[in-house]
Structure 1
Amino acid sequence: MAHEAETLEASNIVAAVSELNLCGKAPYLDGEFSGGECRIFKVSFEDRPSVAVRVRHASHEISHDNHIAMVEDEVQTLQTLEERSFAWAPKCLGASLTFDNPIHSPFSVLTWIDGSPLRWDEDFPLRPLRDELLGRLASVQLSLMTCTLTTRPITAGIYYERRLGNRQKRVLNGELAGLSERDCLDQQSFLKDVLGEDGESQAFAMSHGDLNASNIIVDEQYNIKGIIDWGFAEMVPIATAALFPTLLWPDESARCAPSQATLRDRQAYINSYSSQTSLAALSMRRWQSAEDVDFRILYLTSISSKGVHKALAQTGWKLPYYKPADGGAGGDVLSEAGI
């Protein structure tokens, strides 16, 4: 079904917020921001805090029902985080789960988080501020895992097997160009070795799914004020929830080794919670300190990411820069990993 053209003029945005009874006095459009998945409109008032109107980008490849479902999923995620007293996510004030509204698109209205997206590269910020920021981010990850930790009736191994099976079916149906059945079978063959003892774990927790610099909002002193863009968040086995945030592994890590700066950042991240003994902290330390951590990150990410799956398949499921600690040959990351 074709989408009716969105109407995202200022008057329509304000009218849409007003329909949800969320408007204050003298509302006005105070800014617009565009990301990979959505557009954000800041609406401000004379007598109350500003709000963020989040509108997903329209796509002819996504049906009306699926578009609505994605907005609804994020709303439910934010409601869950509010119920669990997670302090770093915006609160959902309301939502319109229909195309029958002034902007002709489903949308949500969230609390506005003051600050700016984190500026982050290998040279900025400098230490010790850099290490302090990494410690704060580790606290956010620990808090997210701890407040959402639950036991489910299936194991991590079964969960991942089902997702891998669904991926294979989509490939066989021609829905995922660039991937072959062999790529799926190779992916499946590594699962037990990657998971090790965590394959039998029934512990699940929430993962943000895209914890990079653009989604981390900080103030001028680099205090973390909030985490935005929860569209990829989901409840996953603790192995996935415990992985390094996206900030700490490069886009090209299937082919290029992490830099010395990234390695130092990772160690600072781990050191910041090294004295903690909660299940979340122990899981993070086990997965983040593994010798073959880059392969583990990429492998588990490949289960949900077609792009990472393709990248690993193209390298023959080996990282060209990895050499086992015992001096063994090649980049067979799991053959000598000591899992």
Structure 2
Amino acid sequence: MATVERPHLAVHNIAAAVSELGLGLGREPPSIETEHRGGQCHVFQLTFKDKERDSLAVRVPLYMPGDDAKIHALEAEVKTLQILEAKQFPWAPRCRGYSLTFANPIQHPFVVLTWIAGSPLQWDDHVPPPPLRERLLAQLASFQLSLVECTLASSVPAAAFFERIMANRRKRVQDGKLPGLSDQDCLDQQRLLSTVLGDEGMSETALAMDHGDLQPDNIIVDADGNMQSVIDWAFAGMVPIARAAGLPRFLWPSESLGFASSPATQRDRQVYTASYASQPSQAAAYMRRWQGGNDMDLRTLYLESIFSKGMHSSLAQLGWQPISGQNERQPSFK
């Protein structure tokens, strides 16, 4: 349990801030049972003496730089969760209220969510062991399949979507705002887009929601290891289907292994994709399309480089050719 030594974050101030949202807290004051520090947010579990009341999660973006950025990130997460609730998506917490201002009792914007009981998934090449591992992979595939199915929409062609992001980054590089990347790195990335997506992928207009950070820390499981929910939707967004239907982040090649995939990860991928192989839906067809192929690792990392400056720099330094598991270069996009 982490503690935050800030007077304005005392339990009575948190309770007062939540009460201002019209969320009645009852006669007895609530208490803070647990606290969790994430990369950008501090989460307080607000519990009640009335055992019939479910706990609430109060998420405060204490560790995110910039006041405007905090408000924007919370606003985006709230909109995402409201969309998912309207679509009856079962794998996300529900938003119960929010404050997008610093003018409140805790002097910080915050969001109030339903509390998800359980603990973060523990995951490495050996934990969890079979058969729980296979069951969890199937549950996670069901999560992604459901998310794509319920948010599937149509927009501009994927090429236009990605090119806009790349053009904006190149402008920042040219303005000297992104040290570590050169104008040539941006040109190389832009040139490879059609090779990565192919003609069909370039013109594809389907898009769906991507969680943006599907990693074990954001996957909550119960005492038996069953998936309960996915938390931290701050980075979620509607993206072209090539991105939304791609492999979840925890099945990506490892940078620590030179962008190779361990034998365990390769086996996990086979289990993951096999779990929806017979599904007839359009969402499953998209997942089969974008989670397969010999160039899948490089394609996955390339698409990440469009959103991540760090990945862009890493792939540029490697000449856009991550090392395969056999210590041989994968087919070059050059």
Match of 2:294 in 1: 291
Match of 1:165 in 2: 167
Match of 2:313 in 1: 310
Q: In the alignment, which of 240, 246, 270 is matched to residue 237 of structure 1? A: 240
Q: Deviations over 1:61-85 (max 9, x none)?
A: 52x3332111111000000000111
Q: TM-score, normalised by structure 1?
A: 0.91
Checking the alignment, whether the CA contact within 8 Å between 1:292 and 1:333 is kept in structure 2 is: no
Give the residue type in structure 2 aligned to 1:238: I
Q: Deviations over 1:169-196 (max 9, x none)?
A: 1111122121111111111111001111
How far 1:256 moved relative to its partner? 3.6
For the pair 1:87 / 2:87, whether they are aligned, the reply is no
Q: Which whole-Å CA distance do the structure 2 matches of 1:128 and 1:238 have between them? A: 31
Within-5 A mapping of 1:5-24: 7-24=8-25
Q: Which whole-Å CA distance do the structure 2 matches of 1:293 and 1:23 have between them? A: 50
Moved more, 218-227 or 19-28: 19-28
The total of aligned residue pairs comes to 324
Q: TM-score, normalised by structure 2?
A: 0.93
Give the residue type in structure 1 aligned to 2:260: A
Q: Which whole-Å CA distance do the structure 2 matches of 1:212 and 1:282 have between them? A: 23
Match of 1:209 in 2: 212
Instruction: List 4+ stretches of structure 1 deviating above 2 A.
Output: 23-26, 64-67, 320-324, 329-335
Give the residue type in structure 2 aligned to 1:232: F
For the pair 1:320 / 2:323, whether they are aligned, the reply is yes
Match of 1:115 in 2: 118
How far 1:7 moved relative to its partner? 2.6
Q: Which whole-Å CA distance do the structure 2 matches of 1:136 and 1:279 have between them? A: 19
How far 1:124 moved relative to its partner? 1.0
Moved more, 124-133 or 87-96: 124-133
Q: Deviations over 1:200-256 (max 9, x none)?
A: 111110000110100000111221111000000000001000111111124416824
Checking the alignment, whether the CA contact within 8 Å between 2:210 and 2:236 is kept in structure 1 is: yes
Match of 2:58 in 1: 53
Q: Secondary structure at the match of 2:104?
A: coil
Q: Secondary structure at the match of 2:8?
A: coil
Checking the alignment, whether the CA contact within 8 Å between 1:8 and 1:103 is kept in structure 2 is: yes
Moved more, 285-294 or 17-26: 17-26
Instruction: Please list every run of 5 or more consecutive structure 2 residues that lacks an aligned counterpart in the other structure.
Output: 1-5
Match of 2:3 in 1: none
Distance 1:101 1:46, change over 3 A: same
Checking the alignment, whether the CA contact within 8 Å between 1:32 and 1:41 is kept in structure 2 is: yes
How far 1:289 moved relative to its partner? 1.3
Q: Secondary structure at the match of 1:303?
A: helix
Q: Which whole-Å CA distance do the structure 2 matches of 1:41 and 1:330 have between them? A: 46
Q: In the alignment, which of 28, 34, 37 is matched to residue 37 of structure 2? A: 34
Match of 1:267 in 2: 270
Give the residue type in structure 2 aligned to 1:175: K
Give the residue type in structure 1 aligned to 2:195: D
Q: In the alignment, which of 213, 231, 239 is matched to residue 228 of structure 1? A: 231
- Between the aligned residues of both structures, percent identity stands at 52
Match of 1:187 in 2: 189
